[in-house]
């Protein structure tokens, strides 16, 4: 697991529109809320994405961008963004490489089959690339409001 105070692992992943997004691009300019979710079009995935999307402007007031990551392909993300009105980037980690580095990819066995999936996780990364908050096993409902509160308190600490 990653902990507050550690450097956030850098990455480059394709967004829904196929543009490559790098965490390093935000360093020195923006805080980043990086959240990992199971899948597009699932009840939890929809709830969490919509709640973050409804607060995009509030996050932007605090120099913060939101990036959602799942193992869905870019085209699925694009459709999901259009259908749900998502106002931030969704990144495709199809191989699970970045999810592994953030300890958000979990392995489990069911009926003799080994499966991998995302453990819903969120990281608040400051402008210096340090993890300020790390959450694993996140419940999607109400989570975006909680994270916005932490971003606001981050501003007062950094001021």
Q: What DSSP assignment string belongs to 100-156?
A: HHTT-EEEEEETTEEEEEE--EEEEE-TTSBEEEEE-S--STTHHHHHHHHHHHHHH
Question: What are the structure tokens assigned to 7, written together?
Answer: 């450097």
Question: What are the structure tokens assigned to 120, written together?
Answer: 């819903």
Give the sign of the dihedral formed by CA 106, CA 84, CA 21, CA 150. negative
Query: In the chain, pLDDT over 70 holds for what percent of residues?
Result: 97
- What pLDDT is attached to residue 99? 97
pTM of the model: 0.93
Domain limits, the chain: 12-154
The residues, any chain, with a CB within 8 Å of residue 112's CB and separated by 6 or more, are none
The domain defined by 12-154 carries CATH number 3.40.30.10: yes
- What pLDDT is attached to residue 70? 96
pLDDT band at 110 (very low <50, low <70, confident <90, very high): confident
Task: Give the distance, in angstroms, between the CA of residue 110 and the centroid of all CA atoms in the same chain.
Answer: 27
């Amino acid at each position: 697991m990653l902990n507050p105070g550690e450097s956030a692992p850098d990455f480059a992943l394709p967004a829904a529109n196929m543009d490559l997004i790098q965490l390093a691009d935000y360093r020195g300019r923006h805080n980043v809320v990086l959240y990992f979710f199971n899948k597009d079009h699932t009840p939890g995935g929809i709830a969490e994405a919509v709640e973050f999307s409804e607060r995009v402007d509030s996050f932007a007031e605090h120099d913060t961008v939101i990036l959602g990551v799942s193992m869905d392909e870019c085209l699925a993300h694009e459709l999901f963004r259009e259908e749900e009105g998502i106002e931030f980037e969704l990144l495709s980690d199809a191989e699970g490489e970045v999810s592994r580095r953030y300890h958000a990819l979990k392995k489990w066995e069911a009926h003799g089959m080994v499966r991998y999936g995302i453990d819903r996780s969120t990281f608040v990364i400051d402008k210096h690339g340090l993890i300020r908050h790390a959450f694993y096993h996140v419940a999607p409902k109400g989570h975006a409001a909680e994270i916005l509160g932490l971003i606001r308190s981050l501003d007062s600490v950094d001021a």
